[in-house]
Amino acid sequence: MRQRAPLVLAAVLAMLAGGLFWLSRPQPLPATAFAALAPGDPERGEAVFHATGCAGCHAAPGASGAARLVLSGGRAFATDFGTFRAPNISSDVAHGIGGWSLPELGNALLRGVAPDGRHYYPAFPYVAYARMALQDVADLHAFLSDLPADATPNEGHDLRFPFTFRRGIGLWKARYMDRGWAVAGDLPEPAARGRYLAEALAHCGECHTPRDRFGGLNHARWMAGAPNHSGDGRIPGITPAQLGWDAQDIVIYLSTGLTPDFDAAGGSMADVVDNLAGLAEAELEAIAAYLLILPDPRQD
């Protein structure tokens, strides 16, 4: 019996390792996911581009006007897990995503899976984008394909062990990647549209919601505020009880960056305002309607 014990233990460990390997596998979209869609519309894709905030991470720091459409990447984002660097997502074939098909972009946005099959790190907010409508992905693909190419090479991330082990991201996804709504249930319009814009496209919860020690969002404190990833102060809570603004205050802030007390958006929020200012006023009103029905966060 004692001679068999090591063999049994080895078999159990092998089964456990195999199970973890299976659970951590990349899970791309079905091959036919985009087959029945209408062709991507770059005009509609421009609105998706503004809502998703691509330029906020992938354009050069301080870029304005047409320069915000040059998505050369390179911005560094310091976190507790190390420093992530935004990649080049311009239409350059060699260094950007100019050679990507629609399914490849869809897998990146909705599943966090790269064209070569690797997991993307969730510093790329695919946990939010996973709620995107497939047609919006197609329209965004059409718009991105028309943007300028830039040949800036990508820089690698600078992460601590064991976060350099990408396969482990598959286990993180199994725990934290939920494609359901953070504010569940049927919502009236325009709050339902605002939920889609805020939770899926604009990924507001990625900054305004606190995280646990593994980087997963604490949904019990949805939009309740969180430490600033840069280490400078806190990201404020934006629930109605914390914000104290009405719908018009929110729309003005999202379109101009000006608060009711004449302060101005700064830091990464200035980029968010630059992005959202490109949306129709009705879209900003929908976001305001959604924010105004957020529940009070649970107190820990």
> Is the Cβ–Cβ distance between 50 and 279 less than 8 Å?
yes
2 is a domain residue: no
Let me know whether 171 and 237 are in one domain. no
20 is a domain residue: no
Q: Of 139, 160, 179, which one is at a domain's C-terminal end?
A: 179
Let me know whether 43 and 172 are in one domain. yes
The pLDDT score that the predictor gives to residue 27 is 84
* pTM of this structure: 0.90
24 is a domain residue: no
Expressed as residue numbers, the domain containing 200 is 190-300
> Is the Cβ–Cβ distance between 194 and 287 less than 8 Å?
yes
In DSSP terms, which residues pair with 77 in a beta bridge? 84
The pLDDT score that the predictor gives to residue 271 is 87
Q: Over the stretch 247-266, which tens digit does the pLDDT of each residue have? A: 999 999 999 999 998 888 87
Q: Over the stretch 104-135, which tens digit does the pLDDT of each residue have? A: 999 999 999 999 999 999 999 999 999 999 99
Q: Over the stretch 212-256, which tens digit does the pLDDT of each residue have? A: 988 899 999 999 999 887 667 788 999 999 999 999 999 999 999
227 is a domain residue: yes
Helix (H, G, I), strand (E, B) or coil at 60: coil
Let me know whether 36 and 175 are in one domain. yes
Let me know whether 173 and 65 are in one domain. yes
> Is the Cβ–Cβ distance between 154 and 170 less than 8 Å?
no
* pLDDT averaged over every residue in the chain: 89
> Is the Cβ–Cβ distance between 202 and 287 less than 8 Å?
yes
Let me know whether 171 and 195 are in one domain. no
Count up the domains in the chain and report the number.
2
| 156 has pLDDT over 60 | yes
CA distance 163 to 120: 12
The pLDDT score that the predictor gives to residue 130 is 96
The pLDDT score that the predictor gives to residue 165 is 74
Mean of the pLDDT values across residues 80-105? 94
